[in-house]
Amino acid sequence: MNLLERELHYPLGDTLPEPGQTLEVAPGVRWIRMRLPFALDHINLWLLRDSIDGVEGWTVVDCCIARDEARAQWEQVFETQLQGMPILRVIVTHMHPDHIGLADWLCKRWNAPLWISSTDYHVARVLSTAGDTLAGGEQAARFFASHGLTDPESVAKIRARTNYYANMVPSVPDSFVRMLDGDIVNIGGHAWRCISGYGHAPEHISLYCDELKLLLGGDMMLPRISTNVSVHAGEPEANSLRLFLDSIERFKSLPADTLGLPSHGKPFRGIHRRVEQLQEHHRDRLAELLEACTARALTAAEGLPILFKRELDLHQMTFAMGETVAHLHLLWFAGQVRRELGKDGIYRFGPKATVAATA
């Protein structure tokens, strides 16, 4: 446990649900944990006891990526954990592959509707059918190159990675039920309020139940790691970090004893302090970048080692590049640095007075 985690409280300690099993964290709320083949090696999924139109069953929150191991774990859950009742509804917090990858399979398997924000639904439909423009393909390669990632080998790999999203999200349901900020979703007789969040995904939906004092925070409120906040090729002028910081501020209005149920990590209490930790983290990273940009104009690729000290593989590098651009954009939109496009087609961020762009 790192120093920041010690400021939080983990009521279940190190207890984790076994693969293919569930663990009750509150009345009618069960925790599923599935493996991911990434550095972030797991995702938390949730089963909520429910009743819809007089039929008793379960609501699923998030799905895991489309892979045989996850399907097999789900089949174990269906066989041993549902108490003979069906899945009635599939809620997806946002469109990232580990959250929506098996949504179509689950919905068809149980003839259940998908609930998701409209923005994330349509982005997922596009990326699963028209090719990935966020993490791979020609558009992504040009975007990263415009921010200084010009290494030929990396550019070639990014350009060739055209089916990255579709490999993990092969299909998305043909229809959905829209979730909007402030909507109340009745799940098992409990009112869950939708809380929209931005910066990490186009329109992320967290769910809060005041009666149970629970927050299904998705990726917007993680206890151990800092949520990835990126600018990407599909929205190259975004101020993603500003959107994220504004979004998490809203969690401070929740009761202090709220139990956070995150998508990664363990259930925790201390959401107010966690918001402050994330604000402090980004404030420190912004200060480091600002100091470096004041000394000399930097590309995002040159600024990346300031934010990420460890060695990164290409998968991690694309996320890190997007996050570095997000930090630089916040400084730029706030008027703290100046951005200029060099004759070489690369953006540099430097002192407000002048930016020394090289040819």
Task: State yes or no: pLDDT of 357 exceeds 70.
Answer: no
Q: How confident is the model at residue 354 (pLDDT cuts 50, 70, 90)?
A: low
Predicted confidence at residue 108, as pLDDT, reads 98
Task: State yes or no: pLDDT of 200 exceeds 60.
Answer: yes
Task: State yes or no: pLDDT of 114 exceeds 80.
Answer: yes
Task: State yes or no: pLDDT of 353 exceeds 90.
Answer: no
Task: State yes or no: pLDDT of 172 exceeds 80.
Answer: yes
Angstrom distance (rounded) from CA 205 to CA 220? 9
Q: How confident is the model at residue 135 (pLDDT cuts 50, 70, 90)?
A: confident
DSSP state of 126: H
pLDDT in tens, 257-272: 999 999 999 999 999 9
Tally of helices (H runs) and strands (E runs) in the chain: 11, 15
Residue-range domain boundaries for the chain: 5-279
Residue from 137, 227, 118, 130 nearest 179 by CA: 118
Residue 323 corresponds to which tokens in the numbers above?
């996050």
Give me the percent of the chain exceeding a pLDDT of 70.
97
Query: Using only C-alpha atoms, what is the Rg of the chain?
Result: 21
Predicted confidence at residue 136, as pLDDT, reads 84
Task: State yes or no: pLDDT of 133 exceeds 70.
Answer: no
pLDDT in tens, 231-254: 999 999 999 999 999 999 999 999
Angstrom distance (rounded) from CA 134 to CA 153? 18
Angstrom distance (rounded) from CA 73 to CA 181? 32
Task: State yes or no: pLDDT of 358 exceeds 60.
Answer: no
Q: How confident is the model at residue 100 (pLDDT cuts 50, 70, 90)?
A: very high
CATH number of 5-279, picked from 3.40.50.300, 1.10.10.10, 2.30.42.10, 3.60.15.10 = 3.60.15.10
- Residue by residue, DSSP assigns 239-253 as -HHHHHHHHHHGGGG
Average pLDDT over residues 15-23: 96
Angstrom distance (rounded) from CA 340 to CA 358? 10
Backbone angles phi, psi at 259, to 5 degrees: -90, 120
Q: Go through the chain and tell me how many residues it has.
A: 359
Element (H, E) at 146: helix 137-146
Task: State yes or no: pLDDT of 337 exceeds 80.
Answer: yes
pLDDT in tens, 38-95: 988 999 999 999 999 999 999 999 999 999 999 999 999 999 999 999 999 999 999 9
